[in-house]
Amino acid sequence: MMKFLRQVWESFRFAWGALKTNVTRTILSLLGVTVGIFAIVAVFTIVDSLEKSIRDSLSFIGDKVIYVQKWPWGFGGEYQWWKYFQWPEPNYAEYKYLYDNLESASAVAVMDFRGNTVLKNGSNSINAAIQGISYEYNLISDIPVQNGRYFIPLETNNARNVAIVGADIAESLFPGQDPVGKPFKLAGHKFTIIGVREKKGESLVDFGGSPDKICLIPFASFSKLFQSGRRSADIVVKGFPNDEGMKEVEAEIVGLMRTKRGIKPRDGNNFSLNRPEAAAVAISGLFAVLTVAGWVIGSFSILVGGFGIANIMFVSVKERTNLIGIQKSLGAKNYSILFQFLFEAVMLSLVGGLVGIFLVYLLSFMKLGSLEILLLPRNVLLGLGVSSIIGVLSGIVPAMLAARMDPVIAIRAK
């Protein structure tokens, strides 16, 4: 075993020495592999970064959540807006009915949304989105309060004029100050800040807008300000963790809503059950296309690089034919000669792959809008694995030809 390992080590040294001897040829040979590995690893890295951004956004709107709404979320296919237009809006009474009767849900909340509303504090102002929520909404959506506190039931039930604001709102209305406990004007009414959310920062995908520019107020207060007796709302239902497919809670919602609205058995539903995961699945389809495109582009580059390495290896075998004959006449085994050239091909391909991965690593320091590029270890291993396979495939034929040479004929070769 020790003899075998020593011969393998000697083969590795021969391969490394050959690469150092022909530096220019080595660099030109690995360019194709470098471009191919860069394309594949870069695409996978960007796709992973986009998926992480979407998952982070989904934590804001909730996990295992169903939105009971008038309009279905459309992700491809024909959107029958003329039919949905006639459907009634969900309302507060239906929310209370679901809240009192749903048994397969862990939380039921109500919310409504109004964009582009001016908030003022003296000469300071900011355009922000206003979201009216019930007390249970924090059980459905992630609302991290950095400074201050969340609502209490007394405030949400009695329509108190209190608010939890995003970080950008707090900085704009009260620059350099602690905004908790201080008043501001919303739609001409005085509200008091009781909490400030953690700053999320920019995100490539924000369902419902950035939390940094959203002002949360009790749903009852929102209704008084903006709904004028309409009392429409989005009902939000969160299932239990063990309900993997959300089928149980979805079926119960359908039954209760049909009962509440008096829908006949033969008639279809006149409401929509929307899930955030549907948006993620639709976007994931785009990611799959990008991934395939990355493989196709990278494969062509790697194919060219593989042929380049194979060509160099054939040239290397021909240049060192005399040396091969001498080595075999001195007792070198066929596998030793095979490893010598195979290692050279693999090392050449691995160096190209490492350069490509390093370029992707440099890309991770760049800002692509608000997208944070993350080079994950599995993508590094993918690049190294593909490089190794290309090296083996490119070098195996030249290495086998070298290993099978007759030593007498090899020594006589010119």
Mind listing the pLDDT tens digit of every residue in the chain (414 residues)? Answer: 665 566 556 666 666 666 666 667 667 777 778 888 888 888 888 878 877 776 666 656 666 888 999 888 865 567 777 888 889 989 888 999 999 999 888 899 999 988 888 999 989 999 999 999 999 998 888 888 999 999 999 999 999 999 999 999 999 999 989 999 999 999 889 999 999 999 877 655 555 567 889 999 999 999 888 876 566 688 999 988 776 667 888 899 999 999 999 999 888 899 999 887 766 666 667 777 777 877 777 777 778 778 888 887 887 788 777 877 887 777 777 777 787 778 778 888 888 888 889 988 888 887 766 667 888 888 889 888 888 888 888 888 888 888 888 777 777 765
Residues 184 and 213 grouped into a single domain? yes
Answer yes or no: is 192 within a domain: yes
Which of 270, 300, 322 is the C-terminal boundary of a domain? 270
Answer yes or no: is 173 within a domain: yes
Residues 227 and 127 grouped into a single domain? yes
Which of 270, 301, 322 is the C-terminal boundary of a domain? 270
Answer yes or no: is 70 within a domain: no
Residues 39 and 9 grouped into a single domain? yes
Identify the CA nearest to 310 among candidates 393, 400, 401, 402.
393
Return the pLDDT at 275: 83
Residues 232 and 99 grouped into a single domain? yes
Answer yes or no: is 62 within a domain: no
Residues 126 and 249 grouped into a single domain? yes
Identify the CA nearest to 333 among candidates 2, 11, 1, 14.
11
Answer yes or no: is 150 within a domain: yes
Residues 206 and 333 grouped into a single domain? no
Residues 147 and 121 grouped into a single domain? yes
> What is the C-alpha to C-alpha distance for residues 101 and 258, in angstroms, rounded to an integer?
13
Report the domain count for the chain: 2
With contact defined as beta carbons under 8 Å apart, do 68 and 257 qualify?
yes
Identify the CA nearest to 197 among candidates 153, 134, 131, 136.
131
| DSSP per position, 184-229 | EEETTEEEEEEEEEPP----S--TTS-GGGEEEEEHHHHIIIIITT
Answer yes or no: is 75 within a domain: no
- Cβ burial 74-112 (10 Å sphere, 16+ → b, else e): eeeeeeeeeebeebeebbbebbebbbeebebbbbbbbbb
With contact defined as beta carbons under 8 Å apart, do 234 and 55 qualify?
no
SS3 249: helix
Residues 319 and 194 grouped into a single domain? no
Residues 314 and 403 grouped into a single domain? yes
Query: Whole-model pTM?
Result: 0.65
Residues 216 and 347 grouped into a single domain? no
Return the pLDDT at 13: 66
Identify the CA nearest to 398 among candidates 18, 3, 37.
18
Which of 220, 239, 270 is the C-terminal boundary of a domain? 270
What is the residue range of 101's domain? 88-270
Answer yes or no: is 79 within a domain: no
> What is the C-alpha to C-alpha distance for residues 232 and 234, in angstroms, rounded to an integer?
7
Return the pLDDT at 18: 61
Residues 114 and 251 grouped into a single domain? yes
Residues 226 and 149 grouped into a single domain? yes
Answer yes or no: is 73 within a domain: no
